[in-house]
Amino acid sequence: MPSDAGDILREIAFRWRNFATISAPAWKRCAGSWEQLTATLENPAIKTIDDLRTRFGADLDEWPRRLTLRELHEAVYLIDVLHRHVNTSSDINPPGLDVGAKNGTALPALANAMPGQWDLVEIDSHRRYATLSTRRAHGTRIARHYPPSRFIAGSVTDLTGPYGVVTWILPFVDPAPLAAWGLPNRLFEPERLLAHVRNIVTPGGTLFVVNQGKVEFDIQRDLFRALDMSATPIGKIESTISPFKRERYSWLWTAPA
Ligand SMILES: C[S@@+](CC[C@H](N)C(=O)[O-])C[C@H]1O[C@@H](n2cnc3c(N)ncnc32)[C@H](O)[C@@H]1O
């Protein structure tokens, strides 16, 4: 993709973040209790959350002390989706990988739905919040609750695997969201990243991809085709507890044994 003034500024800012990496302590205002969330929801959603808490047990009682209200909502939505769409019957071995993990707040859902080690990789790990803490500081902190899981600051292309399950929630398949997230154009390389991910999933292992909107879902289909990956479209994700306004779609791909 060609450079423009916006791209040059994003490149400078990205380099600065990766130079000035020191973080303030990873403090955030956590939800405090499940009731803070359920008080904002309708009965069907409250019932779904109660069922998930009963099914997955004690660790979910701790989530409101580890996650903000919004993160709590996203995490319980994710465990609902994983539970219904990905095989969650056994522990993962080799480890699981979450690509583009932001600040690691998917980990509570991942580690409960599919227990075992999870690696969370994020290329823009040194992005800061208003508290001056970085995504990496938050990701590292949350990973401590789920040993031996770890937060990795870097590109997925640095990782060699193998991984038993890979989750990839909202990959950049369209350049506009990548720019909106403040990344330079040179990091827009959807086919190269997908080819790399394909190679680090262990034979028989699973890749679960979630796209935002039908347009990205269609682009994702073309990417799978271009790489000769016969992924199964799960289609539009239905959930009574979705916190998102825009529709989400998903895919499952199993690495040939
Ligand atoms: C649209 S965001 C989605 C974040 C998160 N998965 C979520 O659902 O909120 C895409 C994320 O992928 C990260 N990313 C982009 N290229 C990457 C790469 N090569 N390796 C690791 N992370 C990458 C971005 O920095 C960004 O945080």
Structure confidence at residue 206 (pLDDT): 96
Q: Encode the chain in three state secondary structure.
A: CCCCHHHHHHHHHHHHHHHCCCCCCCCCCCCCCHHHHHCCCCHHHHHHHHHHHHHHCCHHHHHHHCCCHHHHHHHHHHHHHHHHHCCCCCCCCCCEEEECCCCCCCHHHHHHHCCCCEEEEECCCCCECCCCCEHHHHHHHHHCCCCCCEEEECCHHHCCCCEEEEEEECCCCCHHHHHHCCCCHHHCCHHHHHHHHHHHEEEEEEEEEEEEHHHHHHHHHHHHHHCCCCCEEEEECCCCCCCCCCCEEEEEEECCC
Judge whether residue 1 has pLDDT over 90. Answer: no
Print burial letters for 121-136: b (CB count within 10 Å at least 16), e (below 16): bbbbbbbbbeeebbbb
**Segments forming the whole domain that contains residue 31:** 5-254
CA of 238 relative to ligand 1 center, distance in Å: 23
The answer, as to whether pTM is greater than 0.75, is: yes
Residue 161 scores a pLDDT above 80: yes
Q: What's the mean pLDDT in 87-108? A: 91
Alpha helices in 129-253 (DSSP H): 135-143, 175-180, 190-200, 213-226
129 lines ligand 1 (CB under 6 A): no
Q: Is the CB of 177 under 6 A from ligand 1?
A: yes
Q: How confident is the model at residue 90 (pLDDT cuts 50, 70, 90)?
A: confident
Tens digit of pLDDT for each residue in 203-217? 999 999 999 999 999
* Residue 194 CB less than 6 A away from ligand 1: no
Q: What is the pLDDT of residue 87?
A: 73
**pLDDT in the model for residue 68:** 98
The predicted-structure confidence for 222-240, as pLDDT tens digits, reads as follows 999 999 999 999 999 999 9
What pLDDT is attached to residue 29? 96
Indicate which residue's Cα is closest to atom 1 of ligand 1.
170
Residue pair 255/202 in contact (Cβ under 8 Å)? The answer is yes
Q: Is the CB of 92 under 6 A from ligand 1?
A: no
The CATH number assigned to the domain holding 34 equals 3.40.50.150
Average per-residue pLDDT for the chain: 96
Tell me the pLDDT band of 2, cut-offs 50, 70 and 90. low
Calculate how far, in angstroms, residue 135's C-alpha sits from the geometric centre of ligand 1.
12
Smallest CA separation from ligand 1 atom 17, residue: 123
- What is residue 146's predicted lDDT score, i.e. its pLDDT? 98
Higher pLDDT, 148 or 90: 148
> Given ligand 1 and candidates 126, 157, 168, 170, which is best to mutate, with the most ligand atoms within 8 Å of its CB?
170
pLDDT of residue 210: 98
Centroid of ligand 1 to alpha carbon of 98 (angstroms): 9
Q: How many domains does the chain have?
A: 1
Q: What percent of the chain has pLDDT over 90?
A: 95
Is any atom of ligand 1 closer than 6 Å to the C-beta of 175?
Answer: no
Query: What would the two tokens of residue 107 be?
Result: 């980990």
Q: Which atom of ligand 1 is nearest to the CA of 121?
A: 21
Which residue's CA is the closest to the ligand 1 atom numbered 12? Answer: 100
201-212 and 248-254 strand pairing: antiparallel
List pLDDT tens digits, range 174-191: 999 999 999 999 999 999
- The pLDDT tens digits of the residues spanning 6-39 come to 999 999 999 999 999 999 999 999 999 999 999 9
Q: Which pLDDT score is estimated for 89?
A: 65
